[in-house]
Amino acid sequence: MPDDCKAARGHDDCLPKAEHKGKIEFERTFENCLSPLTASRPATSMSAASTTRSPASPATHDTRFDRRLAEILDCATEIFAGKGYEGASMRDLSRLSGISLAGLYYYFESKEKLLYFIQQHTFTTIIERLRERLAASDNPEERVRIFVNNHVEYAVAKTKAMKVLSHEDDVLKNGYGAELAAIKREYYRICVTLVDDLVKAEGLELGACDRVGTRTAVMGLFGTMNWLYTWYNPRVDPDAQTLARQISDIFLQGVRGEKTTAGKPQSGATHSIQAEQTTPHSKKKVLLRQQRSSPASSKSRR
């Protein structure tokens, strides 16, 4: 392997001192940019107050760095979404991004770390925006709608990123996987807290008798939102805000839904059936059906 490739793959002892220092500074900035959530936040249960807490501000960095980083992550996301993690290669990313292979390996020693950055960046962006938006409201229903709108808006705008998150969910192991799992648990707890606040404010009884429980409701909501990338088509489906409102309506109706007995129609349906049977016209229909189904009528037809 040529010396320059060895240096590109992370052999820092082969780098000149000035270049080595530049690499370290870049990596620190890179980590600060992508890790505002996990730098100093304990993994404790979420309270209503904590869902409005703003994360620590990332270190200041120049806009050129931001643009270049975003380009690399976008290209990598497109490749992982199209070929899958196993089928993708750093050479594919080099061709698509226009960055030399040695240049990519200089900052990303493996495609595993690149996948980690994509997933962490995606989750960080979603949760940061969510916290900012939740801070603007203390109404329980509105806060649930904010959560759904924030997720759906991102999912519609970044369908390839959502595909990578869903399809490559269990690829990362060790420290990378553990860190991402902690972020996912935090996101889940935020949603649970919002639903619990709604239940408490409206005096609902989730989980009682045959009512849906909080976990079932929340996981069902995530199932609806996370799979938008498989069917959403902007040419025939509504825009993100309309879609988010419709999903929120369905979710809230389910959480607030009237108690029904399995196998029995709801009271409204029973009422309509009884009303139909009391009309003279419906009585004639019932009488004709009974006559046709009786043995005597069968004999006469034969």
Task: State the average pLDDT for the chain.
Answer: 73
If you search the block for the tokens 């972020």, which residue do you land on?
Answer: 183
Percentage of residues of the chain with pLDDT beyond 90: 40
Residue 75 has pLDDT above 50, yes or no: yes
CATH of domain 3-256: 1.10.357.10
Q: Average pLDDT of 224-247?
A: 95
If you search the block for the tokens 């409201």, which residue do you land on?
Answer: 137
Element (H, E) at 113: helix 111-134
- Could you give the C-alpha distances from 156 to 161, 184, 226, in angstroms and in order? 10, 19, 10
Q: Average pLDDT of 52-74?
A: 61
Report helix, strand and coil shares of the chain as percent, to nearest 5: 70, 0, 30
The DSSP symbol for 50 reads G
How high is the pLDDT of residue 64?
77
How high is the pLDDT of residue 69?
76
Q: Average pLDDT of 183-204?
A: 94
Nearest to 225 by CA among 159, 172, 135: 159
Residue 107 has pLDDT above 50, yes or no: yes
293 vs 66, which has greater pLDDT?
Answer: 66
Residues 254/217, Cβ–Cβ less than 8 Å: yes
If you search the block for the tokens 């419709």, which residue do you land on?
Answer: 246
Encoding tokens for residue 204? Answer: 């609902």
Residue 113 has pLDDT above 80, yes or no: yes
Separation of alpha carbons 133 and 111, rounded Å:
33
Three-state SS at 287: helix
Three-state SS at 71: helix
How high is the pLDDT of residue 158?
92
If you search the block for the tokens 């993994």, which residue do you land on?
Answer: 43
How high is the pLDDT of residue 242?
97
Separation of alpha carbons 248 and 191, rounded Å:
13
Q: Kindly report, residue by residue over 169-184, the tens digit of the pLDDT.
A: 778 877 888 999 999 9
Separation of alpha carbons 131 and 137, rounded Å:
11
Separation of alpha carbons 72 and 77, rounded Å:
9
Other C-beta atoms lying within 10 Å of the C-beta of residue 77: 23
Q: pLDDT-based confidence at 235, cuts 50/70/90?
A: very high
Alpha-helical (H) ranges within 44-139 are: 63-87, 90-97, 101-107, 111-134
Question: Which residues, including other chains, have CB under 8 Å from residue 300's CB and lie 6 or more apart?
Answer: none
Q: How far apart are the first and last CA of the chain?
A: 94
Separation of alpha carbons 146 and 250, rounded Å:
15
